[in-house]
Structure 1
Amino acid sequence: MPTPLTHDDPASLGPYRLVARLGSGGMGTVYVARTPGGATVALKTMHPGIAETPEARTRFRLEIDAARVIGGQFGARVIDADPLAATPWLATEYVLGPALDEAVEAAGPLPEKTVRAVGAALCAALEQLHRSEVVHRDLKPSNILITAYGPKVIDFGIARALGDARLTRTGSAVGTPAFMSPEQATGQDHGAAGDVFALAGVLVYSARGSSPFGSGQAADLLYRVRYGEADLDGVPASLAPVLARCLAKDPAQRPRVLELAAQLHDGGGEFAEQLPDSLMGLIGQRAADVWHVPPQRLPAPVDAFTPGGVSAPVAAGADTSRRRFLFGGGVLAATALMGGGAWWWSTSGEKDKSGSGAAASGPEQTRNLDPLWSTKSSYRILEWGLPTPLPVEGVIHLPFRAVTMRFDPETGSRTEDLVADGSPWQVDVVEGREYRLGPNHDKAVGGVTPAGIDVWNKAQDYLQPTPAVFSGTVAGLDGNQLLCVRGSVAYVVVGTGKEWSNGFLASQKFTLRAADIRTGRTLWSKPLPKRPDNNWRLHFLTAEVVGERLVTLQETEPGTVRVVVRDVGSGNVLWEKPYGKAEDPDALQSPLAVAGGLLFLGGERLRAWRIENGDEVWKSASGVAYSPPAYASGVVYAVGQGVGLSALAADSGEVAWTETSDTVSEASLAWRPLVTRRYGYYRNGVQLHAIDLRNHKAGLTYKTAATRFYADAPDRLVLGMGESTLSAYPLK
């Protein structure tokens, strides 16, 4: 879907007038453009800062060459290009159709006849490439556009000539892990047989909605690609053996593309006849989108960094960050915010939201309920964990890599995406503004793009760079983190060193910094411990500003978690202590529970420490391990192993009550509970349990595939995050 040009986009490139944006990534921006005669084209650019490096220009030129090789029948026809311009650009036909991953997401897995037709056409595309001694090396659903006349292969950014190693080196894995060949995953030569392997993965995805090697951390995916068996469950029985041969670990055992094409389809009939109506409708919608372009250019938001833009610092003790607003220190802080009136717990005269349309009475209507809605989306578990859903101005934002997916809280339907660079651990929401730590291409020097902070709000509906740019850093490092924003100050982790696709490098250097978003001034910077090569653990699991203290759970080295408290004014460490045994460090990504100057922690025991100096105030009896806790109205709530939800007095640690349900054996400690005035929510086995705080029993249970739960107070929802599913449950 086209989006408006920003105030600093050029008016034209070459003879082409820019009309709107199609997308932007780490390497460049793609525009909708018009020729002097009024024809519409897609115009791909490379950021000038990146283009300063000869290697990047060479890649861009090779991409142009590969696009010309595949031609207009199987790709986007090249109309014009200038790889030598200050901003290199490539103009191609504007393809009227969605990417394959978008098509599957919108229309569901494709029928077998469609999969076969798509596969045969892609074989013809690859044959044309291979005949010209070019391999694609990054064939995946997002690089395939579906039109009424056949699929078109795009994005040849890492394509290369067969046998040409100029832009790769042995041992370096380049590509997309879920669709790599085994030889590519080990950094070895990826030839024509490697494209066949990737094509089979694409067809498995088309047939069932997921890759043959699942999802998860990149290291796990690469291991499965190299050594694991392809999972073909859900693939039509007549198609599975054909694709299984293509997925052989030994390239010599895979069929050639023409042989595969003959096994997939006889070539008869029109391509459009092989497509389901839902997909044809989506193609028609995309054809119409190009004529509904937004305003040609958004004005520069001159007041973005004045009191009408980024807010001034808030008083000590006030806390309006995303984490505190959503969770209120472990419980929804609505009573204080609404002057004692917690309106979302009132059900008088309102539509019931029990799930499955059931009322809240009668055992048959309170057990194993369906969610209000559930949507299988295109996000996956990333190397660092699941993305976090963020309620913002009546819309649910779900940041994932280069986009923020947006969902209607009432129906779960996906609305227009917000295109941006960044990852879930690089986003925070404060007072209706979304802040992102990502690349600032305008400040690139010598081909190195620094990290900077962008801001979004509902009024402008696009990301605008702020003055906070961290010169000398490298935006492409996955270890960069935006911990939180407090007032006009952002607390970030930024690094320098070589980019790497397999976690950290020991040679990279990271610092924790505080920066004023309005002026861009760095207030302080502190070095962080190095990470070993190929490590996937971020420096910080969670962070919160409490008064004049920055409270963090920091992994000083993999598997070793410490509570580190710093002065917000200087960044100096005031005190630090070992967290203790952490069976699942990822559970500690839960928001912190703080109240009355105390920090509450789970683990082998529940504990309360003074934020001022780290002194221990109380700890629970030994013998029961606990989840990260939540706090509400003088009570600490946590899920105990084998005991379910427990409530303890916040000032003394005395146990007030424990759950009396008879189904606590599968109580999950992997996330904190959510607590309202009436219920405490946590995962138990394959269900979400809502424990009635009056009788300490499960009042409601819901089917769930989620492992993490967040409160969306304005929309009265519990949002559940699973491996590839976002679900909503009623918040009561």
Structure 2
Amino acid sequence: MNLLGSGDPIRLGPYRLLGVLGEGGMGKVYLGRDSSGRAAAVKVLRPELAHDEHMSQRFVREAQAAQAVTSTGVARVLGAWTEGGRPWIATEFLAGPTLDDAIEEQGPFDELGVAELACDLARTLQDIHAAGLVHRDLKPSNIVMTSSGPRIIDFGIARPEHGLTLTSTGQIPVTPGYGAPEQVMGQRVGPPGDVFSLGAVLAYAASGERAYQGGHVAAVQYAVVHGQPELSEVPDSIRALIGPCLVKDPAQRPLPQQIATAFAPPPGSKAKAKRVWQLGSLAAEIKRREAAAKQLTTFPAVDDRPAPSRRRFITALAAGGTVLAAGGGGAAWWLLSGDGDPVREAIADEKEAVVARKPWDAKRLTDSQYEKGTAPPPLWGPVEGVNDSSRVWAVHDLVIVPERLGMMGAYSMTDGSRKWGVECPRTFCAAPSDDLIVFVGNEVNPEGELVALDRATGKTKWKASAGALEIIGADSESVYFTSSRNRSSGYFDRLHAFDVASRTMRWSVPFRTEDVSVDGLGAAVGSGRLVVFAVGGKVTAFDTRTGKVAWDLPEQTKAVDSMLPAISEGIVYFGGKTLTARELKSGKEVWSLPAKSEVTKLSGGWGPPAIDGDALYAVDGDVLSRRDKRDGKTDWTFSLGVSGSLLGPPAVQGDTVWAGQMKNHSTGVVAVHKDTGEQAWRYARGDGGLLTMVGTGNRVILVQDGTVTAMPVF
């Protein structure tokens, strides 16, 4: 959010304006709050346009259109003033990601999720059309995902069904790829135009790809008018239902009611307790944003407060921002505050006010609870009996580590007590959800069983013969693993995706990297891509829906060990000869930094990075640095001396970042202030050996010297 400028109003109607959320050709959108503390997005026509008959007519029409629709599927209008002065519209303040943000960050919806989205959007369109209006700009960025369902926003170019477009000749009336053919050609647009847009939206939700694409706007619009939609990545059952929405002839498109019926569950089927926006990481993101937005309504009025002595921005939402119904787009909102301001005092400790505290989170150390240069006592441990391993997993409230004698053990994150253990010949597992842990139960059996355990009890929930050799990752839908036609060779030659819900193979593709053993893969999953980093440095991105190779990058490193990529907001980051950021979908380079250390088969180069908000932490040789993840620019560096004992990425928790360090022939970890790069303390267990760690729940879990230990953070 930007500061109010000299030409910006302080108040409009009952709303005290706090800052500028966004602006466009017609006007500005402000963050406003009434005397009761209710927040609103206030859209105002620019002064120089207030006397323009065309613009005023369009603005008045928007206000009338928004007020005419009473559906629960749209943003409510809280107030409007369209006579004289500066016309404005105040609409409901919606917290939540737009549909395009949700798909970009969480990946495409599954078939049931698309069906639920289709039903709700079709019913909302039915309500809009019943009010005698056509939206005319339905697209993913105009759909906000909330805990109660998708909400359609922005009636900026909505119009009565019988009206003609007010758009001048040559102007594009709608977002390319979502407007109907008749709209592209400037013809009359009725309710079928919104149905076409809905079909394009659902195709994107099901595949993560636009139905109409091109190198420039004209090519996209030509494809809409003359070409056929690209639906190859859309599941067959969904494709059959949205295909009719995208036909060229408006008269042949189905009605919204027919769409809702077609996507509804079969008669007599049991209703599902929760919808796609109430499950998993999408639900968590929506709840986090809604909780942060609710915080705003608890602040006291600031109308009569003197100007603060020191001003600063406080990020009210940790990532992604809050979407505003009145055309705020996907912009983040910020609160302006200063010393002594109750607004600042209410959320100054962003770590506690914004991020929901989990029951197993540890309390962070205060300044008086540790001494600089001296490691504080562990929260618990060291607990003996574990194997030194290149992996340790944090799943919900448990720490999962390989144990001696071929076991896998689950330890309480809060006190280190052992909860359960199972025989596990391999040392890799995956957690498709907080309640399910999957591992390869029998590497000798040629059937290669996948075994799913109840996270809380360790009891077997199901088994499936899959020919699995090693699990490399999982998302909410699938477990990804390798297999080999000759298991005794120790090398894999295929990659698979196993559907957790149906317990069937989604896809199986050849995948062979020369001289790579079963332990030679590091992988990350996100936004419809499985990114695999193999020994020898080849990086390959697979489409999680089909198994097709989306892009690859050969010889990223020479090292004998693979590295874990990191995925954040549609970008994948990985080390090697360069520390690089690439677009997850296409593999296009965003930025890249060559390693200063010598890259050999045994050491050197960039290690795997860790992402924390907008910051990236990584080690190049013996130097730990913090960088801006958006452009790779350096914030600070810290010399580790002699390093190379840690295969995994740095661990970031609280205000600390931890990295492996070799000192006086002793392998340990150093904790550094993540904002300044100043050392806080060093901790070592024993005299060395492989060190593995993971940050979780305001603690850092260390595995070394046959023990597991939980260390506190500040």
Shorter-normalised TM range:
0.3 to 0.5
**Normalising by the residue count of structure 2, what TM-score does the alignment of the two structures yield?**
0.43
**Normalising by the residue count of structure 1, what TM-score does the alignment of the two structures yield?**
0.42
